[in-house]
Amino acid sequence: MSWKFILYDWGTLNLTLFQAINAGTPATLDPFAWFFSLVGSYWTAPLMLLSLWWWSKSATDPARGHAVRLRLAGFGMAFMLALLAAAVLKLWLDFPRPPAVLGDLVRVIGEIERHYSLPSGHATYSALVVGALWPLVGRRGRIGLMLYAGLVGWSRIAAGMHFPADVLAGWILGLSSTVLAGWLIPLAAPAWQTARRTPALIWYGVAACAVMTDQLSKLAISRMLAYGEQVEVTAFFNFVHVLNPGAAFSFLASASGWQRYFFITLGLTVSAWLVHMLRQRLNRLEAVGYSLILGGALGNVADRVLRGQVVDFLDFHWLHAHWPAFNLADVAITSGAVLLIVKGLNQSKTVDAKPIENYNHSQ
């Protein structure tokens, strides 16, 4: 008798519960399943962060505002821990989703997915939301939070996306990440106070996080997928394992080999300039942009030094058209560039508005 049979299959109870919920959910409840899958998605995390930030700023009681800021920091850290742990578990275990196990017996709402069932990312995220808001709300609010998490879990089973064991694992992962973040934040507080007196340290830390996230994701892909292997995740997105001797999005990938040393030299030169720039007094948006570009550049430089080529694994496609595969370092570089462009556009608007303001004052 294997550990999977006991811990995941629960004998045969996991499958039995799934079939009872999935087949027993009437079609009239499909919109509710869709809605709670939507509000339990990782993609609503920016809205959650923005809401907590606004709550902390609008609180009239300073103690209340401080408590909300602590939950904001805790949610952010727990979210990153849970996202990383969930990605590693999904790739490592690669448990099949219900349609891969039961075929046409599963009633699916949305696109059919066959891989990476454990843990449920939606259940994980709902537990993170519950953990962040639990200390801030009263008894009725806590009942509402429990109902929210329960309905998100139900929606994933009713939609044919996950087994009950996946949902339970997601709840456990989300709550565990919240507890771990609660332990880590007080330990990090002294370092944070020191970093606030030296702003460059904060931005170097952002860059270091980008490098570590990029390298961990590439290590996971290299361990879990054979070279050239492709795994379908959704109808428009695959995980792949390819090596790119060129730059971001396969630029100069077909060159004869000189590009490796050229891009190492270019990456280190740009990184040195970015390190210098981050020592200056910068607007926060500008500093985050430079930090992300620095982290992405160093992530790809590390690949070229250690592997000779860059590991790419994110493959987006539509019909038969594929965007060149890329990685999280490329995402960081692109995101940083977008932030710098936004900063430049905002600055241009401010400069353009000054003559009008001066004209009005002269009247």
Cis omega (within 30 of 0) on the bond before 119?
Answer: yes
166 is catalytic: no
Q: Could you say which of 166, 214, 312, 315 is catalytic?
A: 312
- The H-assigned helical ranges of the chain are 3-7, 13-24, 30-39, 45-58, 62-93, 98-102, 121-133, 139-158, 164-197, 199-224, 258-277, 284-306, 328-362
What whole-number distance in Å separates Cα of residue 249 and Cα of residue 324?
A: 5
Determine how β-strand 230-232 pairs with β-strand 237-244: antiparallel
Sheet with 230-232: strands ordered across: 230-232, 237-244, 310-318, 321-322
* Closest-CA residue to 192 (of 68, 69, 62): 69
Label residues 49-67 b or e (16+ Cβ within 10 Å = b): eeebeebbeeeeeeeeeeb
What whole-number distance in Å separates Cα of residue 325 and Cα of residue 241?
A: 9
Which residues touch 152 (CB under 8 Å, ≥6 apart)? 36, 37, 39, 40, 122, 123, 125, 126
| 3-state secondary structure (DSSP) of residue 241 | strand
Bridge partners of 232? 238
Q: Could you say which of 166, 214, 303, 330 is catalytic?
A: 330
Residues tagged active-site? 312, 330
